[in-house]
């Protein structure tokens, strides 16, 4: 099996952009955005909110498991995989680790709060209706990360790094060589 990276962080940390750039470094790479897996639900999807209902938590766990199974399938087929997801709770890697095991590369993109907010603003008017929720989520995730230790994670402060520099930092921290 090939390597699997779980790239997490607050909204506007650059998770999807970095995951795609990271996978382009490999001969066979697949990027699995967990939000896209979650949004495969056609009816009954519980929207993200700060009211963590049992149904929302159950749907998040399902999406994590489905994305992890997808990554496992691709890595068995000779691909390197990168999943990207937002940071949620004290141990967000737990659902993924149950499927992918302890060799999962845990990467936390942690730009400074002001940088994440600036990146969100730079996105333009797309998603303006969600902007207040995303701004609140950036603050929430930043506060959560201050409260919970990051044991076992490769924490990358991407505030002043380009996308390519962030990928270099991930490869250096994990010791993975593209192939």
56 pLDDT more than 70: yes
Please tell me the least confidently modeled range out of 45-49, 53-57, 78-82, 115-119. Answer: 45-49
Which residue, among 166, 161, 163, 112, has the nearest Cα to 141 in the 3D structure?
A: 112
Most confident residue range from 19-28, 44-53, 114-123 = 19-28
Interval 59-109: pLDDT, tens: 999 999 999 999 999 999 999 999 999 887 778 899 999 999 988 999 999
Whole-number pLDDT of residue 128: 66
Whole-number pLDDT of residue 66: 97
Confidence of residue 148 (pLDDT cuts 50, 70, 90): confident
48 pLDDT more than 80: no
Whole-number pLDDT of residue 171: 98
Residues facing 9 on adjacent strands:
86
Query: What are φ and ψ of residue 83, in 5° steps?
Result: -100, 140
Please count the other Cβ atoms lying within 10 Å of the Cβ belonging to residue 47.
8
Write out the two tokens for 109.
């993109």
Task: State the Rg of the chain over Cα.
Answer: 16
Write out the two tokens for 133.
């929720």
**Distance between CA atoms of residues 155 and 152, nearest Å:** 9
Strands (E), 10-98: 29-33, 80-86
Q: Which CATH architecture has domain 4-174?
A: 3-Layer(aba) Sandwich (3.40)
Write out the two tokens for 16.
């999807």
Whole-number pLDDT of residue 127: 57
pLDDT over 90 percentage in the chain: 68
**Distance between CA atoms of residues 73 and 163, nearest Å:** 27
Residues 44-58: what's their mean pLDDT?
Answer: 84
Collapsing DSSP states into helix, strand and coil, what is residue 129? helix
163 pLDDT more than 90: yes
- Give the H or E element holding residue 106: strand 105-109
Q: What ranges do the domains of the chain cover?
A: 4-174
Give the Å distances, CA to CA, from 89 to 10, 60, 76, 81, 128: 12, 12, 29, 23, 26
Interval 98-139: pLDDT, tens: 999 988 999 999 999 999 999 988 876 665 667 888 888 899
């Amino acid at each position: 099996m090939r390597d699997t990276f779980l790239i997490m962080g607050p909204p506007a940390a650059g998770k999807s952009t970095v995951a795609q750039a990271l996978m382009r470094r490999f001969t066979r790479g697949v990027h699995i955005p967990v939000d896209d897996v979650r949004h495969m639900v056609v009816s009954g999807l519980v929207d993200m909110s700060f009211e963590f209902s049992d149904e929302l938590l159950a749907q998040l766990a399902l999406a994590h498991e489905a994305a992890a199974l997808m990554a496992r399938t691709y890595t068995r087929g000779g691909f390197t995989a990168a999943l990207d997801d937002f940071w949620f709770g004290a141990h967000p890697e737990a659902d993924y680790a149950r499927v992918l095991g302890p060799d999962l590369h845990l990467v936390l993109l942690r730009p400074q709060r002001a940088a994440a907010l600036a990146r969100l603003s730079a996105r333009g008017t797309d998603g303006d209706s969600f902007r207040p929720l995303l701004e609140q989520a950036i603050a929430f995730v930043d506060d959560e990360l201050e409260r919970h230790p990051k044991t076992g994670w490769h924490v990358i402060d991407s505030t002043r790094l380009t996308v390519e520099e962030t990928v270099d930092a991930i490869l250096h921290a994990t010791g993975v060589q593209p192939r």
